[in-house]
Each structure stands twice: as C-alpha cells, then as structure tokens.
Chain A
Amino acid sequence: MSPPPPGQTQLPDWDGLKLQVRTLIASHRVMIFSKSYCPYCNKVKELFRSMHVEYYALELDVTADGPSIQQVLAELTNQRTVPNVFVNGTHIGGCDSTYQAYHDGSLQKLLGDSKDTEPYDYDLIIIGGGSGGLACSKEAAALGKKVMVLDYVVPTPLGTSWGLGGTCVNVGCIPKKLMHQAALLGQALQDSRKYGWQYEEQVKHNWEIMVEAIQNYIGSLNWGYRVSLREKSVTYLNSYGEFIEPHKIKATNRKGQVTYHTAETFVLATGERPRYLGIPGDKEYCITSDDLFSLPYCPGKTLVVGASYVALECAGFLAGLGLDVTVMVRSILLRGFDQEMAERVGAHMETHGVKFIRKFVPVQVEQLEEGMPGRLKVTAKSTEGPEIFEEEYNTVLIAIGRDACTRNIGLETIGVKINEKNGKVPVNDEEQTNVPYVYAIGDILDGKLELTPVAIQAGKLLARRLYGGSSTKCDYINVPTTVFTPLEYGSCGLAEERAIEEFGKQNLEVYHSLFWPLEWTVPGRDNNTCYAKIICSKHDNNRVIGFHVLGPNAGEVTQGFAAAIKCGLTKELLDETIGIHPTCGEVREGEGTA
C-alpha cells in the first residue's frame, strides 16, 4: 500500500482500520465521517437533526488514525472528502448527495428500513378514485400490498357532487352513452313507422324519468366500487388528500376532520374538471358536464359553448331528445382529431337540427329570470371583427376544455414538477414523475390520451411493475377511440394531417368511401353521410396507420379494427378478409387516393 499519510509516522494497520470502518458503518443507523470544522459536515448533521434522526459522527480531525480512515473510505467509496455519509449501511455520499436523497425521498426510504423507525402506514396511497386509481388499487391489493385510496369530489359552483368512481362513471362516459342511447331510441321510434310499427300516441321525452333512471344506475355503480374495494381490502377514504412532506399526506373529509397517512409509494390519479370561460355570469348561471347528467329539470333551449367531443356529444343528444340546441365554436371542431372527419361530424349535426355559430366567443351571461330552467341572455363577440351576437337561452353549457386537478394537492411541497401551462404531470414511460416514489396515471398525464381504458391499463400495469415483478409498460400507440355524436365517429391510429406530417403525402395511400347502412334505406335516411377512411403507409407494405369511420355503431366497428391494427394490419390483409354481410363494417374502400 501507499506510504503513511501525512500527519502519521507509523504504518497503519490497514486491515484493522478497514474492520473498524466497516463496523462503524454497520452498527450505526446513520454514520457520518466528519471533520469538526467542516461546514458541509455541519449542514448534513443539521439535516438529520431536523428529521429527528440520530446520527453518529466520527470527527476525523481529532481521531487517532483520522487520515488513514479517510484513505480507507476513499478506497471503499471512491470519495476522499468529508462528510462521508452512510445510512443503514448504504453509502450516500457527501453533503450534496445527502440533500438530493432527502429531496427525492430515497433518504427516507433507506432510513425506513431500520427496525427502529416507524414503518410507513401503507405500501401504496392513491389520490383519486376514478378509472385509473381504482384499477391500480385493486391490482396492488391483489398482489398483497396494503393500499389506501382517497377520493373526494369538490362540488361544482352550483353544488353538484357525486360518489366513488371518478369522472367516467359519474359525469362522463357512462351517463353520456346512456343519454346518447336515449336520443338514438328517439330516432329509432321515428324510423319504426316506416318499418310498419303503428301507434297513435305522440312520442314525447321526459327528461326527469331519464335522469332518475341513469342516476339510479350510477348509484349502483358507486356502491359496487365501494364493495369491491372492501372485498379487496383496500382502505377507502372520502377525503381530500394533499402532500405535506415527503411520503406523507393530510386527508380532510367533508366535515373538516383531518387525518395523516404515510406510504412508501404514491400514485396521482386526480383527473380533471371542466374549465370555465372566465366571463361575468359563467359560474353563477352556466352549467358544465359535471352538472348536466344529474340536472333535475329539462335544460330546454340550450347553448353549448365549445367544440370538444364533450360539447358535440352533449349537443348531439340534447338535440336528439328534441331540444333547441346551438353550438358556439371559437375556431375548429374536435381539435386533435382528423379534421375531415370532424367537419363531417359537424355537418351531419347541422343538417339534423343543431345550429352552429362559428368564430364567436361568449363575453357575458346574464340572468333574465330565475327558474328550473330559467332564462339567460348570452352576449358573444366575433373572433374576426366587431360583430356582436345576443340571444336568449334556458341553459348555457360550457364545454371548452378540462383542467388537471394538480394545483392544490401539495405537489410543490415534495418537489413534483408539473407543466405550468396546463397543470399536467410529465412522466417517463413507466408513469414515474420526477420524484421517484410518486407516479401518475390517467387524464392528468402530460401528452397522453384522456381515456378511461388507457387509465385503467396504465394503473394495472403500474401495480404489476411495482409489486408483481412485471416489466410491461403501457402502450399508448394506436389506442382506439369513439366520439358518440349522433353520427358516431370511431378512429384508431393517425389522423390524416398527422400522417402527412410524419410520413409525407407521397408516402401515403388513402382509401375512402361513403356508405349507406342497410337499416337506413327503408326509413329513407341520408345515403351520403356515412363515411370510412383508411390511411396506409406505402413504404411499409401498405400498413394501416389510420382508421376512421363515421356511421352507426362506430365504437363496436372500431374495436375490432384496433386489434387488427395492433397485429400489423396491411391493406392486403384487409382486402383478403371477407366481410360480414350486410353490415357497415364490411365496407370495402374504393381504389384511389384522397
């Protein structure tokens, strides 16, 4: 070995010293090799004191063999400097590394392994009891973990609230599809006379009966989730969760009672809520989708503000139930979707009684008369000029977008970064945030799809990776989706604009056709509205990279195609697949490029 370090004359007993160092590291929960005059050593000791964690410090400047010990440490850890920190036998590093470990939670994790500390209350705490949160919790519990789910609905400005299950179950997919079905049945009744059904009565729609039936079903789902959490031994709290320090949350229930809980790992699944316009009268007099599905009175003449799928789906079924509906659009329809399809969706709605006011935004909503519904006056401005629009409506439904519920849950306290522009949480491909013990799933993810099945899949796979030894990641490519407007629009893969951007127009072959569903022939419904489009990548064997269909049962049709696309469907394979007749799904796309 090297000559004795400066300050020592005798040759050190290296083996003895190594043993001494190793013993010190092993017998103290926190071992700090320090020097009494070193400010960084003091900083590190300060940190542990603030955490109420006992440490043992060996001051090498006043210890016999101090310099030799420093040498041993250098060989052991590649670190010559002090402080040299070990926690439960694990080498952390110097002052910076120790603080870093504190901020990202790995320090606490190492400390937690000791029998002396309080273990965490739970293995996993999930904030948010929606599609993602519940799926993740049940999977983790099934893998034997101790899990808690917190779910809390902050009431809307009008006082609406709901039970366990999240947006999809309570104010999203489920009631939306049921109301869409109610509207389709209305259309079916109209068609039925052409098929020979004869009845005298005038057919009217009773909003209250529909809402009660739908809410009853949702109530049974809320209860079902509670029972299934109980059966899987997941602890459920109807409380608002916020982070107050690393690994610890504060839970506040409706009565204001507060409890605290700690966990080794956290999952954020808080979802989103509708955005308001920020104009006078919006929160006092307007409703959103959060209120619509449980509205105790028929909304009457309705203005829908927005052009998202929420806006168009709601406008669609309200019109289908016989109401006078207008949609006010600031710019384009269905942003993010294939625009040719979006315009076709809108055109169909327009020819079937939905009024569209394009390139206008509301600037004020006043109440003319209270009531259920009341009368509201809406003033809107053109986005292109000085034109003003004024009109009276019974109800104004705002559907201009949804904001992630990430601003008031204490994320800044534990250092979780969010995208300041939209509040969403950036994660890596394992749904992990910048803080290693905090994950996120569902609608709050930055740059990912806002769909229930995606959240469920991400939640389940995350639990399996955390606790089941799996390494399967969630596949966000080629996720199918359907917009349930009166004429349904299903799609899987790329919109045409995106495909052109990514592959170049010359590398694409687009096959398309209009079709007339057989069931529409007899009642004489549109024969030039239903439409299907398939986008293929020429240099990849004409692989299907985009599938779009506008027609009845689009969701059912698209689901099968999604599986085929996942298997690498090509145009040739599609052509070789014999169709089922007579269906919409069998439509053969004509030759030729769009």
Chain B
Amino acid sequence: SDFAQEELGDIVYVELPEPGSNVTAGETFGVVESVKAASDVYSPISGEVTEVNEALVDEPAKVNSDPFSGGWMFKAKLSYSGDLDKLLDSGAYEKHCESAGDH
C-alpha cells in the first residue's frame, strides 16, 4: 500500500513467490528490502499465485513510485472469495492510516 511504502522507505529489492505456489491470507508471501531492513510482506488473500511482476526485479522502486498500479506484486486465483470481504477499500484504508498516524 502507499502508506507502507512511505513508512518503509526506498525499496531496493523485492522477493516474490513462485508462480504456482500457494499464498495464505495474513501470512508472509515475500520480502522487500529498504533502509537496510528486510521486511516481510503479507498476503491479503489465500490462493494460487498465477503471475508475479517480474519488472520489480530490475525496478523495485516501482513499489514506491506506483504502489497501486505498476508496483503490483502478484496475481492469484482465490481459493476463498470470502477473503475479499475482510479487506478495506481505499477510503476505509485511508481512514485507518490516518488514525494510526494519530497514535
């Protein structure tokens, strides 16, 4: 998300899952490196990875510059559509980040 990329700093490396592998909602699917830190990234859904954004190998900074478009990380076939109901839309997420910033 845009909030996360700003807090993490300039992304210099992205490690993504292999196509064909499975991801689990709330569990780690990969790693990003920024500011000398390797930070786990968590999958919002469970499913099978169908495609990863290879462009991030050479241009990891796309995660910072274009988090909601060119900085996409993976596509997956959902194993449980109910996972989507638990996600925040952009408006709700913005409110969540604002309240997190207040603490």
The answer on A and B forming one complex is no
Chain A positions within 8 Å of B, measured between CB atoms, are none
Chain B positions within 8 Å of A, measured between CB atoms, are none
